[in-house]
A and B are shown apart, each in its own frame.
Chain A
């Protein structure tokens, strides 16, 4: 069965600090996709990144970076020099190759960036 675990329920950081959000996943499939979504108070889920299971390269996009490690089934997300606008709930998610739209979400991590 597929499962996504985000052990950190809530995190508070002071503006300009770096913060890492942890994600551990479980799947028996060899081909799968991993995602991170951001959900601001407005409720809409904002797509941040998608990574397929064959691409273990780390990725950096501005202040965001992602560390995918298949050996530990982890897909962690780091925000560098956090800003107040980063305050939101962040979801890690997983889908199978053949059921792409059936995304399994983790419970989310609520990030508060304090000015």
Chain B
């Protein structure tokens, strides 16, 4: 049973570029959440997707957007990259009906130069 998978593992971009990160939830899960973890800090909630709609959003600018597909996988898009966007981006999945624990992927390490 595959857990949460994220791609790519590492990514290097330059300021002003755009990036897309991908996440496949754990089998049977229908809800995907994205978190940003800067170096030495705890993860911060970006947004959550359920039924292909953004349901909740943290304190992040509109440069951060996402999408959820019918197969429950999700993408995180960041436009006009800033140096401060360099971080580990974590995807978490859950089954909404059961309110059980979140399962996290290993993340995508994004470096903005």
A100: B residues at CB distance < 8 A: 94, 99
A44 adjacent to chain B (CB < 8 Å): yes
Asked whether A42 is an interface residue with its Cβ less than 8 Å from the other chain, the reply is yes
Residues of B in contact, count (CB < 8 Å): 25
Report the stretch among B14-22, B36-44, B68-76 that lies at the interface.
B36-44
* 0 or 1 for each of B23-61: is its CB under 8 Å from A? (1 = yes): 000000001010100001111110010000000101000
CB distance from B38 to the nearest CB of A (A): 10
CA distance A37 to B101 in the complex (A): 11
Across the interface, B44 reaches (CB within 8 A) one of A47, A99, A101, A105, namely: A105
* Number of residue pairs spanning A and B whose beta carbons lie under 8 angstroms apart: 56
> Cβ of A16 < 8 Å from any Cβ of B?
no
Q: Which of B60-95 contact A (CB under 8 A)?
A: 88, 90, 92, 94
B45 touches A104 (CB 8 A): yes
B42, A91: Cβ atoms closer than 8 Å: yes
Task: Specify which of B33, B99, B106 is in contact with A102 (CB 8 Å cutoff).
Answer: B33
Chain B residues, CB < 8 A from A47: 101-104
Q: Please indicate the chain B residues that have their CB under 8 angstroms from the CB of A50 in the complex.
A: 101
Is A84 on the interface with B (CB-CB < 8 A)? Answer: no
Min Cβ gap A75→B in Å is 15
Interface residues of A in 3-29 (CB under 8 A from B): 4
Binary contact track B94-113/A, C-beta < 8 Å → 1, others 0? 10000101111111010000
Q: A101-B48, A102-B33, A102-B48 are in contact. Are A42 and B42 (CB under 8 A)?
A: no
What is the bound-complex CA distance between A47 and B26, given in angstroms? Answer: 14
With most chain A CB atoms within 10 A of its CB, the pick from B40, B44, B56, B101 is: B101
The contact string, 1 if C-beta is below 8 Å from chain B, for chain A 67-99, is 000000000000000000000000101000001
